[in-house]
Structure 1
Amino acid sequence: MAGVATGLANLIAPQLQAVDELFARELVSDLPHVNQLVTHVAKFRGKMLRPMLVLLAGLAAGEEENPLNHDHVTIATVVEMVHMATLVHDDILDGAEIRRRGATINHLHGNEAAVLLGDYLISHAYHLCSSLESQAASRMIAHTTNVVCEGELTQNFNRRNWKLDEKTYYLIIYRKTAALTEACTRLGAMQSTERQPWIDALALYGKQIGMAFQIQDDILDICGQQKTVGKSLGTDIEKGKLTLPMIHFLKHAAPQHRELLIGLLESDEHDRIERVRQLISPSDSIAYARETAQRLVNEAIHALRILPKTEAREALIEAAHYVTARDK
């Protein structure tokens, strides 16, 4: 998110620095091997999208000259810890070996260490969350974490379900991805204003860009270049997880192409990931997924029209455009 981050330097750079410092301070341990794992996983913190959403929503909803406070920073740090925990656990579920051009925790230290590190991040997130003055914020973060887990469980339950429909897919990606971005913008706004229409508008923005972000991730899993994306690709294909491009392809492709895709997804052939990518990439299923993601981004931007026109609102619009423009 480098391009977006550059534009935010004068808006939230001090608060992002405070998030970095609180993240590091909260996770420090007196055990060297724990610190080693935490130091490694901190390298995965690239985009910092979720902390940015908390802070920008707080800024956009604020009616004072400087509405951001320590609770905004705390919430931004908590959601980053929760997000990092989900990445560590996702890499286990996907059998991923690369994340941000480096080795994953599970690849370096095994699944057991990765599970425990994810739990460590979650427990620290809850510990930090308990310092918030607002019990409502703490409850929302706890509830959102539950929803994320439900999304992962639902996706896992539907592995190799070649009849998965778009409605169920959207339910999965809302729970596993968009629920957290929705909570980010809602919580950021709640710390700055009591105007419910503004809070709801920012929450809708967070939800829609979260959905679009996941669809773009699913497109990159098929069409992306691993050197550019910087993480293991083809994991959805490998694990039999249908995503929007594959769901659309199975519904609209000629019967022989549909049978070919299912056969490849069910096979153990060493080149099946590349063959699936070659089958789907030229199809209109990729264009359909891109159009869907762009529609969600447009809806997110439209939701912001209720807010005053400020630098923070413009930064949120820029962040929304980034979601579908990114190639990593």
Structure 2
Amino acid sequence: MMKGLLDLSDRLIPAGEALAAGLARVEARFSGQIASELSPVARLCAHVDRYRGKMLRPSLTLLVGMATAPEEGLNDHHVTLAAVCELIHMATLVHDDVLDEADVRRAGKTINRLHGNEAAVILGDYLIASAYHLCSQVPDHRPALAVGRASMRVCEGELLQLHHRNDADLDEATYFEIVSRKTGDLAAVACEMGAWASGASPRVCTQMASFGMQAGIAFQIQDDLLDLMGDEAVVGKSTGKDLEKGKLTLPLIHHLARATPTARASALGVIESVRTGKVDAHAAGATLARAMQTTGSIEYARQKAAQSVASAKQSLDALDDTPAREMLLRLADGVITRAF
């Protein structure tokens, strides 16, 4: 249960146990929803079932639900909508591994590595279809509209990033447009739905969505740093993929904007050598990380992530001081201190 992101004090243990129980229900709902009577499909689903790691998005849904209705506890809508968000997230992971030609996910082989791109693409589609089938079981059209809107924005973010591959002039504004859509929006709707399922007011739902958006942006910045400098054995997935695929992330964007002409040309040369296969992405990442020390670009990215976390925390000010709220605060800190 969010291992490595949430360290619980004695005061928080009961809430942590409630969250763990809720996540167990989410996992059961998830597995039941993707069950297939066809053995080839069932085998693929069993593999993707092992992709579940941090369970960030369902944890957000459940914790927000607990924080906005502390006396009532979690209901079936919380569980359903948490599972819906996780299904969509899993679909994006399966599709991302195809786009990135990744071999490793959760310290195991990816679907595309084991079964090829065709099976991975269709499995991702199956997960998305499963998510909307499950969401349609909520007797209100608002969750489906919110989740559908967020899913469209996730795809827009990915398409915008694809458009800017190998774009050395990508600016920060466009980077944040990409990450707010591809990562922030799903975290935002996970939080919004947690509040909605608790019967919270539209104002509180909006505040919780803001928390999720800012936490999601911080999460993505940290992911980008880990892809550049993380240990694959610790991160649990293929690293160096941003450089291989020509995706400029925040530290590199900052470095290219601040470096001297000579240093910028050198960095672009390293990036090009990765694109053409002349240099391994991990070795190139280490070279670029050293160069970024001169422009403070790694620290700059960390500061931006910390600013997003601070903004996320402010969105919780209107909530009562409960263990669930404290866990949300700690979770926000954890997204940028993690090494995986």
TM-score by length of 1: 0.97
Report the equivalent of 1:2.
3
Report the equivalent of 1:96.
102
Match of residue 247, structure 2, among 235, 241, 245: 241
Q: SS in structure 1 opposite 2:46?
A: helix
Contact 1:84–1:121, Cα closer than 8 Å, also in 2: yes
Q: Does residue 1:42 correspond to 2:49, yes or no?
A: yes
Q: Does residue 1:280 correspond to 2:281, yes or no?
A: no
The structure-2 alpha-carbon separation of the partners of 1:228 and 1:79, relative to structure 1 and needing over 3 Å to count, comes to same
CA offsets per residue over residues 215-234 of structure 1, 9 Å max, x none? 00000011101111011001
Report the equivalent of 1:127.
133
Distance in structure 2 (CA, Å) of the matches to 1:275 and 1:262: 15
Distance in structure 1 (CA, Å) of the matches to 2:299 and 2:6: 28
Number of equivalences: 327
Q: SS in structure 2 opposite 1:281?
A: helix
Q: SS in structure 2 opposite 1:2?
A: coil
Q: Percent identity?
A: 45
- Which residue type is aligned with residue 292 of structure 1? K
Match of residue 78, structure 1, among 73, 84, 94: 84
Contact 1:159–1:242, Cα closer than 8 Å, also in 2: yes
- Between 1:173-182 and 1:273-282, the stretch displaced more is 273-282
Q: SS in structure 2 opposite 1:306?
A: coil
Contact 1:11–1:312, Cα closer than 8 Å, also in 2: no
Report the equivalent of 1:323.
335
The structure-2 alpha-carbon separation of the partners of 1:226 and 1:286, relative to structure 1 and needing over 3 Å to count, comes to same
Written as runs of structure 1 = structure 2, the 5 A alignment for 1:1-328 is 1-4=2-5, 7=8, 8-62=15-69, 65-267=71-273, 268-282=276-290, 283=293, 284-328=296-340
- Which residue type is aligned with residue 36 of structure 1? R
Distance in structure 2 (CA, Å) of the matches to 1:4 and 1:211: 16
Distance in structure 2 (CA, Å) of the matches to 1:192 and 1:231: 35
Gap regions ≥5 residues in structure 2: 9-14
- Which residue type is aligned with residue 232 of structure 1? S
- Which residue type is aligned with residue 315 of structure 2? A
- Between 1:3-12 and 1:300-309, the stretch displaced more is 3-12
CA offsets per residue over residues 89-128 of structure 1, 9 Å max, x none? 0001111000111000001111000000000100011111
TM-score by length of 2: 0.93
Distance in structure 1 (CA, Å) of the matches to 2:298 and 2:7: 30
Cα shift at 1:5 = 5.4
- Which residue type is aligned with residue 103 of structure 1? K
Gap regions ≥5 residues in structure 1: none
Contact 1:249–1:280, Cα closer than 8 Å, also in 2: no
